[in-house]
Structure 1
Amino acid sequence: MHQHIKITPLIKLFATVCSLTLAVSLAACGNGSSSASSSSSSPTTSSSATGRDSTAKLTGVTAKGALGKKPTISFKTPLKASDGASAILQEGDGATIKDGDRVCYQGIALSAETGKEVQSTWEANTPQCDVVVNSKSLGAARYKLFEGQKLNTTIAIASTDTSQTTSSSGSYVMALTFVSLSKALTRAEGDKVTDIPSNLPKVTLASNGKPSIDLNGYTPGKTLVVQTLIKGKGATVKDTNTVSANYTGWLASDAKQFDSSWDRGSASDFSLSQVISGWKKGLAGQTVGSQVLLIVPPDEGYGSTAQNSIPANSTLIFVVDILAAY
């Protein structure tokens, strides 16, 4: 989907068991949409939303343990459940999740056939923060399940992957515990930087935040250019983080746009370990809420390899709004 992103499934929790990102699992169960992607052209989903029933009640699954800690999940095996069926296993005691919040969660995946745990984020303490609570991204049913819950709530969702022919195929129970929340940004927020070099391309923002550029006579050099346009006040981005961002990319040769998350109507989440080096170097060290101008020479981008509408040996220009990092 994103021409600059060299990416495998973004959220690793369930990638090894059913080749799904959790974001796609949640959204598809709710008949919503997801920005997660595994390639330059198609969403990461190993089965379509057809047949999923996000309104179905998941029965026979229980959770024990202290709120906010890794729960012990139990059910009689083999568990038969509609794909997308869900249940609240533990009622939380923390802050209330509201519309527009970005929610972080710890997760466990268990085989529906054996009840054995096959994946977990708890041990490495790597909560995922890819869920923004709105009906567009989650779908109406899943939105109803999430909105109004409290932190430390644990929910379960059944997931059946019928498209796989490997030993990793099958049915799973995903137990998610909401552990934190924050305001979900849709565009950069912070202080405008005033000492921007006058010879750089000029950036203009539409009312919704989408950037456009005027090359301003700019002649690309051979080194990476990183210019903060808006300085956000959030956490510092690490080069090991997954970042949620809105962005647009242009060719430096003629300012022709080749990609934009703004046009798709949703931000993109991607690991900095799986993008071109110009992105990794340019975004690491920035702060959440920032807007960054990146001018990426070929050796920090795609080099001599053409990428769809990006010719070989192209210098690329990006304006990136950093919405979250986790």
Structure 2
Amino acid sequence: MRKVMALVATASLLLVTACGSTTAASSGDVAPLESIKVTPGADDSSDPTVTFDTPLVATATGAKVIVEGKGEDIKENQNVKFKSIAYKAEDASLLGSGFAGEPVTLPTNEEFKAQLPALYETLLQAKVGSWVAMVEPAAEAAPAEGASPSASPAEAKAETVVVLKVVASEPIPEASKKLGADEVKKLKDEGSLPTFEMKDEKPAITIPKDKEVPAGLVVDVVKEGTGKVATATSDVSANYTGVRWEDGKQFDSSYDRGEASDFNLSGVIPGWTQGLEGLKAGTQVMLTIPTDLAYGADAASQGRPAGPLVFFVELKEVK
């Protein structure tokens, strides 16, 4: 679904509002969606039956409510939870389904509005329980081999039809904040923070037993460096080990690979950006990162470590 949606960001849109109308909520070029019919499965874990005329030809993005829900209105600044299924536009063959798994969460915020305006506008006219169909054009086709560079590119056509069901919506919780030095000291004195010890030149992290995860980002400096100070956009080199708070299981470690990792602090999870900003090269730090500043509520569905995470990080170089 994420890959499908990414293509939509580059599509040209013809926004159509349904306010004040008795027609189904929609946005964009919805004419190609007229033949889509959805029969819900036995429950929210069962695939629906979806049919449409093939080949479904669309040259602009569109989204439309196919089956109206009976729940609460979907609003701005909510986390919308949905399940989706995707089909090939040419012959309606199944590309993939997420109905057997956990719902995916999509926030109705400004970023969503900018990247997926047709789906955004449609959802904000819909209710929880609605089934929404979306179609998007393929990436703009390149000119045929041997054609003049000034020739117009072939008109892009839809490759994918996505049908999703909104299963819930809730207000977006306030983002977790970085805890102050006094708050971190108090937690440390209480034995409520993870600890580590070096074994065979690798950090072994221990999660405190019977302690609640801290209510915010914890930056626990265990050794302060003397080098250059990192900013939120610095290129850095670091050694690290990461474990899950829930069970202490390691999911990644540069120490195991035998070399530090290079990255820019603007391209990592927010807990790393906020946690390493302001630290000096040579610093060793324990980061306890809440879920929303790690990989998010639907991390597991993306194959990423879920829940609050703990990292030992040695900031070796700020470039």
- Fold match by TM threshold 0.5: no
Higher helix proportion (structure 1 or 2): 2
What TM-score does the superposition give when structure 1 sets the normalisation length?
0.38
Instruction: Return the index of the structure with the highest Cα Rg.
Output: 2
TM-score by length of 2: 0.39
